[in-house]
Amino acid sequence: MTRINIAIDGPAGAGKSTVAKAVAKDMNIIYLDTGAMYRAVALKAIQSGFDTRDQVVLEALVKDIDIRIEHDGNEQRIFLDGKDVSGDIRTAEVSIGASNVAVNPAVRIKLVELQRKIAKDNDVVMDGRDIGTYVLPDARHKFFLTASIEERAKRRYYEMIGKGMSDITISQIEKDISYRDKNDSSRAFAPLSKASDAIEIDTTSLSEQEVVDCVLSHITNKNE
């Protein structure tokens, strides 16, 4: 049986998760947010008092980590060692930590194995940094979303304010995003990059619905 695999990659704040969720809902398939997995590893490191850049510690930490994903309709919940951490992984500290732990090959290999298994067992829209290039290189549909850094910081700011976080500023978020952009694209193993066969969409001046429509129309056209 051929699975539907849709890869949506791009930097932080480019609109990947909103678009991936809407596309999954429209097509009645599951949405997998792979960033949440790197966030869960970072959360574990932070809670254990470790530096998220300590490569030796990370290798040991990831050996017996238990990360589980559940889908409740269109919503994904992530469990770390049996506990639902879907809310705890959304802080600014965990965002930076996730970008740090994502450099480690042992961490990536472990999480990619889980991601590939989910894609083998389900029709899925997967968002991340390396889905089209590394996790699912044979995915039939690949998209790469971008937006200006100012727009991405603004979106993230309002998203975090909407979640009740008040201790943040747009300029701090812009700094954090810029750190992550550099870190994510310069790592040696499976960096953030556009697959040569991915369709690039600059979402800076597009509404969410316009991006969703654009993605869905590319999928329909290619399937015809």
Amino acid at 133: T
**Inter-residue contact 102 to 38 (CB < 8 Å):** yes
Residue 101 host element (H or E) = helix 92-101
- By the 10 Å C-beta count (0-12 exposed, 13-18 middle, 19+ buried), 115 is classed as buried
Q: Which stretch binds ligand DC (CB under 6 A): 35-43, 44-52, 140-148, 158-166?
A: 35-43
Among 14, 98, 139, 160, binds ligand DC (CB under 6 A): 98
x/- binding map, residues 117-136, to ligand DC, per CB under 6 A? -----------xxxx-----
Q: Which stretch binds ligand DC (CB under 6 A): 32-40, 69-77, 198-206, 210-218?
A: 32-40
180 contacts ligand DC (rule: CB under 6 A): yes
102 contacts ligand DC (rule: CB under 6 A): yes
Candidates 131, 129, 132, 169; CA nearest to 153 is 169
**Site size toward ligand DC, by CB under 6 A:** 15
3-state secondary structure of 12: coil
The contact set with ligand DC (CB under 6 A) reads: 12, 34-35, 38-39, 95, 98-99, 102, 128-131, 180, 184
